[in-house]
Structure formats: C-alpha cells, structure tokens
Structure 1
Amino acid sequence: MRAGEMGGMTRLPRFLPADLDPAQRELYDAITGGPRASGPQAVPLADDEGRLAGPFNAMLVAPPLGQALQGVGAAVRYGTTLSDRVREMAVLAVAGRWDCDFERYAHEPLALRAGVTAEQVTALREPRVPDLADDTECAALTVVVALLRDGDVDDAAYADAVAAVGTRVVFELTTLVGYYATLALQLRVFRVTTPTGTGSG
C-alpha cells in the first residue's frame, strides 16, 4: 500500500490489488467488474498499478459497508429511469453544494457529453436550477436544489414534481442526492484530490 498520484489521498493509502484481503478483493472485483467498467466514465476506475481512484479506494477500508455503498451507486448510475442529462445535472448540483472538486472533475465531462451546456454547468456549481427548456428537467432539478438547500421539498414543489416526473423519479432523485452527498463528504474527509491535485472541498 502506498500513496499514488492519480486521485492521491493524504489520509489513506492507495491500496494495491496484491495487498487486498479476501473481503477487499471481492469489493474491488465488484467495482472494477461491474457496470462502471463498461459504462461512460471521465475518470479511469484504477491507475496503471490497479489502485482504485476517487471514492472507491476509501470503500476498501470497510468492505461490508463499501459493498452496500457501491451497490447503491451502481443502481443510481445504471438502474434508474433518470435521463443522462438529469442524472449528471443532479450530481453536479450535489458537487456544488459540497464544493466537491472530484465529483465535478468526474461528472462535468459526462454532463457536457449528455448535452448539458457550459452555462448550465456554471449554474449547478452554485447550485441553482439552470435555465432549462424541458419542464420535466426543470421539475427534477427543482427537487434536487430544494433538497440541497432545505433538506426537504415543500408540498407545492412535491406536487409539481410528481405531476411532471412521477413518484419514482422523486425517489430516485432523493437517493441520488444522498449517495453523492455521502461520497462528497468522504472525499472531503479523506482529502481525495483529482489527478491535477485539486482538493475536494
């Protein structure tokens, strides 16, 4: 185990695959062999020596909890009805709330690839609902920003969101906000940096 450059952590070592115990290895294989390995990504899951990047290295510290957390993350990324645009905008809003450079680094390219404009990305850094032509996207982002601002969605906004996107999407959005907020806090506490050395808040 040793610290690495890509996404290097100052409070945790970067775990080498050869040093992992069986529970850690099972989690490592679930992360690197799951949908993340074939899905779109702006940041490689691991460096040339196989050390996990970003929040995934920290998950190896507590494999049972890490397994559950990575499972929720995979479901949020690949098992919801959220469009790519809404999902990536919601992630960037969370990154804006927690000033999480790593989440921005990992997800801004995905958002741009999904058609989110640079102006919309800037709005999400505040975070606020960007100018959106699509009413369903606006309703979804209104829920996300309310959760980040107030920790709740008032009755009027909830009714509007359910009418526009449905109860399932509201549930998916609350789960996404909670998951990426958890990652943002872990990235902050463990001082995870981007490959360029930028901190996570």
Structure 2
Amino acid sequence: MPDSRIKTLAPAELDAEQNALYDSIVTGPRAEGPQLFALRDGEGRLNGPFGLMLHVPGLGSALQELGSAVRYRTEMTSRVREIAILTVAAATDSEFERYAHERVGRAVGLRDEEMAALRRGEFRSEDATEQAAHNFCRHLLEGTTTLEDEDFRRFEAGLGQPALLELVVLVGYYRTLSQMMHVFDVRAPTGLGDA
C-alpha cells in the first residue's frame, strides 16, 4: 500500500488473530485458480482492503468472509457480479477495486469497451439481466438507499428477489471497502501495468 495513511503489516508482524485472518485470505477461494490481480506484494503484505482488515482482525474476519460469500457463493453469474462490482468501483472512485475487478471482469468475458462504459456510468447491455443489475446498483449508489414500490416491482421482475438481496449486499460491501480505502488512502499496487 504505497503512500497509505496506515502501516502495511508484514507477515512477521502479525499476532495470532491477524495471522489466522491472513491465512484465510491467502489460502481461501481468492487464492484458487489463476491470480488475476496481486493479492500480496513481494514481501507478502496484503494489498488493498485486505491489508486494512488485518488492523482489526475481528471485524476484518467478518468482512473477508462476507466478501468471499459475495464473490463465490451467490447465484448471480460471474459477468453480472463483475458488472455490479465495477459499477460500485466507478461510483465510489475506488482505484483498487477498479484495478482488481477489471482484471477479473476481462477473465469472465467483459470487453474493454464495456469496462470503459462502466467507468463512465454509461453501461449498456443487450442482456436484460446484466442491464437490470447495473441499473439497480446505480439506483442504490445515486443517493437513495430505498426504492419506490414501482421501482421495486420493476427491478424484482427483471432480477428476482434473491438477486436483489445479493446485489444490495454486494453494493454495501464494496461501498464499505471503497470508503475504508479512501479514508486510509489505500491505492492500487504500483508497477503492475494497467488493466
């Protein structure tokens, strides 16, 4: 975490509770398969929000578990999930989430022009579910955290109640991470090339 307002902890500096959290992050589902973004730096320190979580391991453990559930245990497709995450990243100007999830997005089939449109808040998809998910997330991110009955029925018809619940949690989770990283000035890793 270059130029951060908080110390980035090296593995040797961790106490038992922090070490358990560290291990759950680096050996859990995020560590499986191809590594699309740098979870750790060259000295083993965690990048992005994960390094922040180590400073409050009780809360950090709950946060990382929620993030793992959002990423790996929902019913939404990988494309819908990444569209939603990148919608939050754009709305909250989250440098790290854009860095990480544009790489994941590319791996699940998002094209460069789609990701550029997400950054501009102008995403359009011919897939009705993808478009509804993006529109729903934008609605939640643009000031109001509730829905009028007519809007609720429209989004429910396009997505279904389980997807609405999953997207509400996803938006809240990634908004929380973005706020944490903004407050502590945590940015994307440097020297790794652009997405």
Map 1:106-185 to 2 at 5 A: 106-128=100-122, 130-149=123-142, 150-185=144-179
Report if the CA contact (8 A) 1:139-1:160 is conserved. Answer: no
Give, in whole Å, the separation in 1 of the partners of 2:8 and 2:35: 20
Corresponding residue SS for 2:120: coil
Q: Which runs of 5+ in 1 are unaligned?
A: 1-6
What's 1:27 paired with? 21
Q: Aligned-pair RMSD on alpha carbons?
A: 1.8
Change over 3 Å in CA distance of 1:39–1:185 after alignment to 2: farther
Deviation of the 1:41 alpha carbon: 4.2
1:75 matched to 2:69? The reply is yes
Change over 3 Å in CA distance of 1:154–1:42 after alignment to 2: farther
Give, in whole Å, the separation in 2 of the partners of 1:121 and 1:139: 16
Give, in whole Å, the separation in 2 of the partners of 1:18 and 1:109: 29
Report if the CA contact (8 A) 2:2-2:187 is conserved. Answer: yes
Structure 1 outlier segments of 4+, above 4 Å: none
Report if the CA contact (8 A) 2:21-2:61 is conserved. Answer: yes
The aligned length equals 191
Corresponding residue SS for 1:76: helix
Which of 19, 33, 36 is the equivalent residue of 2:30? 36
What's 2:5 paired with? 11
Q: TM-score, normalised by structure 1?
A: 0.88
1:65-90 Cα offsets, whole Å, 9 max, x none, are 00000000000000101111111111
Higher RCO (Cα < 8 Å, 6 or more apart): 2
Report if the CA contact (8 A) 1:9-1:190 is conserved. Answer: no
Report if the CA contact (8 A) 1:8-1:193 is conserved. Answer: yes
Give, in whole Å, the separation in 2 of the partners of 1:41 and 1:60: 21
Deviation of the 1:157 alpha carbon: 2.7
What's 1:101 paired with? 95
What's 1:85 paired with? 79
Q: Which runs of 5+ in 2 are unaligned?
A: none
Q: TM-score, normalised by structure 2?
A: 0.91
What amino acid is the match of 1:182? T
